[in-house]
Amino acid sequence: MNNLINKEVKIIQLGHIEYQEAWDQQEKIFKQIISTKINNRKNKKTDQTENYLLSCSHPHVYTLGRSGDEENLLIDKDFIKKENLSFYKINRGGDITYHGPGQVVIYPILDLENFFTDIHKYLRLLEESVILTLKKLNIESGRVDGLTGVWVNHNSNTPKKICAMGVKTSRWVTMHGLALNVNTDLKYFKNIIPCGIQGKDVTSIDREIGEEISLEKVEKILIKNLSEVFEFKII
């Protein structure tokens, strides 16, 4: 464990970026933080570990987590190529999801030993940050028992997912994160069984409020709420 706790988080805004490029950047930072921790333990050092939060959006892409079932991708490789889509099998938890224009995607790369060592709590605080963001936009949302993410109509028999989550952790360092539908073209979700959950719909902020809202505005609110919920300082 770090003797010098660091609750500062560097925000890196990647803009609209190809999925592979953003994944490569995540991996580079993730490995750097883990290397610092290994070096600290090996050499009995107390160097601080850094924390990062990457924000971006992606061109149309489907990603399948480690425990996912490729049967939940309802289109074949020919269709993916024809429609200029992408598909990746990746190293996060969870099943299949979609990323595309009109989403705010957040990748926190945090050393949880700077905060708390509890993955369940980490996921719940990510959800809470999104719930508070949606509340600011006059959208009531919440959790559905047994399911990760944030949902609208969460207390009904017809909840609609508005934010998907999937993370990877190693040595208490996190990567991957969340995707919040803002002005997302929801038709792309019809090509998958989102998160491998049958019979659940998806929605977006613009659909819920009946007007378009900028990604920049939502991103700003969300990052502020993340900083308050996790009690970190933005640098």
16 and 57 Cβ atoms separated by less than 8 Å: yes
How far CA 220 is from CA of 208, 210, 217, 226, 227, in Å, comes to 19, 20, 5, 10, 11
Residue 87 neighbours by CB under 8 Å, 6+ apart: 61, 62, 63, 64, 73, 77, 80
Catalytic residues: 195
**8-16 and 233-234 as β-strands: parallel, antiparallel, unpaired?**
parallel
